Structure 1
Amino acid sequence: MHGVITIAATEIRIGLRNRWIILSSLILLAFALILVLLGSAPGGEVKTDAVTVVVASLSTLSVYLVPLIALLLAFDAIAGEIDRGTLQLVLASPVSRGAVLVGKFLGHVAVLAIAVSFGYGIAGLVAFFASGGGDAVALIGVGRLIASSIILGATFIAIGYIASASVRQTGTAAALAIAIWLFAVVLFDLALLGGLLASQDGVFARVVFPWLLVFNPADAFRLYNMSAIDAVVVGSNLGGAGSALPLSGLATMLSPVAWTAITLGLSTFILKRVRP
């Protein structure tokens, strides 16, 4: 256990010094504050508080930025060690390969949690005070968004480990990470949309589509957050689809949790077969 904590602490120090992660955190904060300003601007009759509108907007932003930040953290976790020639030294320590990966995972999740809490926490507080205080209960939505974003990020960190452990060059791992991000958050939804247009009211639209939507951890995250607020008020059409989904409410987050457990186990299996 001590070895796991030591590795996690090392990854936290490295992650916080990584300029890509610092830049991504600042970009996340900048986009969040822009959405706060847009959400608090007058725009007709919106019968809800500014914080709720901002949380709805940030949940869509998170689908794109949080997985990208997570993959930037994870893509060189193993391949980078091989490239630098330090993997053999790491594995020579009296810590199992599984414990090494768990330590890296905990450290990377901690770095991601700092970035998300910093960006969304400030944005939520700005929206709260910009709207004149309002109902403090609305801040619960910000906390829910931060927690679910960390879970989503943890999922893509674990997925990134598979790419990192499967290759021996950092550049190849980075290319795989970008490909994973592009497929999971862009191409997958485009494919679902194409299937809906082709199927209309067929079997795909009624049976297959709801399962595929929940199957994707990014979509499951978005559905959870949008179902937790008044989706009709904020102008989203996701709320109406909630009743047709195989999972609803908090159960929707079982998808990213399951993805995290499975991919972390798979990446551990791959790492055990890697020769430094």
Structure 2
Amino acid sequence: MELRQVFAVAMKELRDRLRNRWVVAVALVFAALALVIAYFGGAQQGAVGLRSIEFTIASLVSLVIYLIPLIALLLGFDAIVGERERGSLELVLTLPITRLELLLGKYLGLAAALTLSTLVGFGLVAVLLVVQTGTAGLEPYLGFMFSSVLLGLAFLSLAVMLSVLASDRARASGLAIALWFFFVLVFDLLLLGLLVATGGETGGAWFPYLLLLNPADVFRILNVFSLDEVRSLYGLASIVPSALAKPWLMGLVMLGWIVAPLGIATWRFRP
């Protein structure tokens, strides 16, 4: 594998997203929604305006869990299958480039675009927080931004895997939406339903570890246990053992969610 080829494909993907203003559009969406939620997140308690770092993170966690996975899946679902349908995949593979170089280049280019838009969008909120509260409590917010990037990369890996496995764009897009519904909406309901139906007898001890099977829950755990005020706003604090409440451990689990789907995609994309 030649890194020069991977870099060339990645730069092309990134330039395409910059040229069609995808990065700017997504960054503005992130910034606008983050500002609205951070500013009006305390309206139900009778207060508006930017409050503490902890409250801002607590308000933004739910936004990230819903929005970033969806954007990542929509960004990457046609990375390979789209080229195949347009007939350009065979043409590209006639060039001196391997399938692995093409796949990694596309992923890295899309990952760079998603990362850039995430950091710029949430970075604008960070600037306002610095103006409002100073730099003393900025470190947890930077950790939140980093974990948001990891969440996006994990779902982008899943999207690229779907793009390799699907036979056409329509099927890939349907699978991407179904995956979003499953991980963001259905997965936790199934676990809670299992606990309620069995009175907590089935899966109770394993419940915290089952959460690791969902990258959205890994992101939630990573941020819920970062600050005391955030921890108090979520019920996960009472069921997740302290053994899992380690940022470095959750970071490794999230890296696993990035690497594993890419590994499957690489295996299936072989000639």
TM over 0.5, shorter chain:
yes
Q: Which residue of 2 aligns with 1:267?
A: 265
Within a 5 Å distance, the mapping from 1:157-176 to structure 2 comes to: 157-176=156-175
Letter paired with 1:216: N
Q: For 1:200-215, list aligned pairs within 5 A.
A: 200-205=199-204, 207-215=205-213
Whether 2:256 is the aligned partner of 1:254: answer no
Asked if 1:3 corresponds to 2:5, the answer is yes
Aligned to 1:54: 56
Contact (CA 8 Å) 1:109, 1:150: kept in 2 or not? no
What is the aligned counterpart of 1:113 among 105, 115, 123? 115
> Which of 16, 19, 27 is matched with 2:18 structurally?
16
Residue matched to 1:88: 90
Displacement, 1:251? Answer: 0.6
Structure 2 unaligned runs (5+)?
Answer: none
Instruction: Tell me which residue corresponds to 2:215.
Output: 217
Alignment pair present for 1:238 and 2:236:
yes
Q: What letter matches 1:8 in structure 2? A: A
Q: Summarize deviations over 1:97-146 as a string: whole Å, max 9, x none.
A: 111111111111110111111111112222342x3xx2413211221111
How far apart, in 2, do the equivalents of 1:151 and 1:223 lie? 13
Q: How far apart, in 1, do the equivalents of 2:231 and 2:219 lie?
A: 19
* Matches of 2:121 and 2:241, distance apart in 1: 32
Compared with structure 1, are the counterparts of its residues 226 and 138 closer, same or farther at alpha carbon in structure 2 (3 Å cutoff)? same
Deviation at 1:224, TM superposition (A): 0.4
2:138 aligned residue: 139
Give the Cα separation in 2 of the matches to 1:92 and 1:71.
Answer: 28
Q: Does the Cα contact within 8 Å between 2:208 and 2:240 map onto a contact in 1?
A: no
- C-alpha distance 233-260 of structure 1, shift in aligned 2 (>3 A): closer
TM-score by length of 2: 0.89
Q: Relative to 1, partners in 2 of residues 1:127 and 1:199: Cα closer, same or farther, differing over 3 Å?
A: farther
- The answer as to whether partners of 1:117 and 1:146 remain within 8 angstroms in 2 is yes
User: Hey, what does 1:36 align to over in structure 2?
Assistant: 38
Letter in structure 1 aligned against 2:165: S
Amino acid at match of 1:224: L
Aligned counterparts of 1:32 and 1:68: Cα–Cα separation in 2: 16
Helix, strand or coil at the partner of 2:34: helix
SS at match of 2:239: helix
Q: Name the CA distance, whole Å, in 1 between partners of 2:4 and 2:230.
A: 49
> Which runs of no fewer than 5 residues in structure 1 stay unpaired?
none
How many residues get paired?
267
How many Å separate the matches in 2 of 1:50 and 1:114?
A: 25
Deviation sequence 1:64-88 (CA, Å, 0-9, x none): 1111111111101001101111101
Query: What letter corresponds to residue 265 of structure 2 in structure 1?
Result: S
In 2, the alpha carbon distance for the partners of 1:142 and 1:232 equals: 12
Cα distance, 1:233 vs structure 2: 7.0
Q: Does structure 2 conserve the Cα–Cα contact (< 8 Å) formed by 1:214 and 1:247?
A: no
In structure 2, how many angstroms separate the alpha carbons of the residues matched to 1:71 and 1:42?
A: 32
Shift of 1:235: 2.4
CA distance in 2, matches of 1:214, 1:117: 25
Distance between the aligned counterparts of 2:64 and 2:249, measured in 1?
A: 19
Corresponding residue for 1:190?
189
- What is the CA-CA distance between 1:229 and the residue it aligns to? 1.2
Asked if the contact 1:36/1:126 (under 8 Å) is kept, the reply is no
